[in-house]
Chains A and B, each alone.
Chain A
Amino acid sequence: MDEKEIGIYENVLEYISLELSQILKKIPDTYKSNVEEIRLRNNAPLSIYIKGSDFFITEEGIPTKNKDKARLVNGKEIIKTFQLISNYSLYAFEEEIRNGFITLKGGHRVGIGGKVLYGNNGIETIKNISSLNIRIAREKIGVSDGVIKYIVAFPRTIHNTLIISPPQCGKTTILRDIIRNLSNGLPIFGGAGLKVGVIDERSEIAGMYNGIPQHDIGIRTDVLDGCNKRDGTTMLLRAMSPEVIAMDEIGSISDVEAIHESLKAGVKVIATVHGNTLEDILSRRSLSILIKDKIFKRYIFLDNSKGVGTVKDIIEGDSFTSIKK
């Protein structure tokens, strides 16, 4: 288990400029297997995030809380890292850079900070890169095994489900694992699976790299990568005949339209949204329509009280009462 986690970390280091990756290679194994983010900022300490708290890294590769001992990252190293991340090919990542991040092999994501340039069609590119945030993706296979029984309905379908959670609590991780479970087939259904269409607007669910999903999303899953939810729903319904459509981070009016569209076609929806409580969601106009119309039959609330992806509560959508046992 740990060996694999360390392997993931070391693979990510391949994308960091040599000077820095050699330092990062020296940190203790216990840290390696838990690193969530590696942060490079121009003229700021090299730092890593582990379980919500940050550590600075010294020249010798020792994590510390003392910022004076930390190794500073310089602009040249950021540029080199950026070259490695973009595979020396900025032109191949125009679209990704406009969105502010690049997906690496393995589904890891790199957020980019710098000077944003506008052109005729909105954001053109980012130059003078000043910071990079490398988020290490760690898929947790099996995290949804406990919730899946609340979602399924008979015969062989699911309830429309909304996953509500604050950031960094495992929304996407749990959604991905639900997709995997439904798609691979469930014992409750006698092993049968559902056809799942994934609209992966932020390339976070499947982590597509060169057309290959970098995370396990199951055998009956079709992915529209980087597609917006409105267009994606139409495209999936037109030809992919999904039984379930999964999407991440809904919020805008057009997302709500997309959900209505799928419901009209009799397709079930699983979606995630930022928030802490049902009131949070109700206070957002576009989403409150969905809740008042009782479209979702299950609300899953997450927090990180017992680690990332802890299920805080599951609420039934008609009566708004907890059904978590």
Chain B
Amino acid sequence: VRKHQHEEEEPGALRWKEGLQQKASEAFLRHQEAAPNLRKLVYGSVVEADDSEMEEEEELGGLFRVTRPQKSKKFQANAVDCSRFNPDTSHNWDLEEMLNSIRDCFVTGKWEDGQDAA
């Protein structure tokens, strides 16, 4: 593909057409990753952290050992036991756009046909 790009580097050439198929397949894969199979996420096999892997020991002068606890797995296992679901920080509730996204959750919003009393 790369070679192909070099050849077409002439002024005025329509370069956006290059690698359209590749771009499309990449976008498809990205989308697939963004919407994971929830069942697999919940019940899929969890990779257990290996205990031997956790200990990266170094000897200092033959007497002391430095342990560097890895933060990833063991940290989670001993995290705070709390049921709170922290909100998605990407939502900015000062924007009109966000406010509009939930308008129909309220009785004051638009009703489905057939449910509307009017």
Determine if chain A interacts with chain B.
no
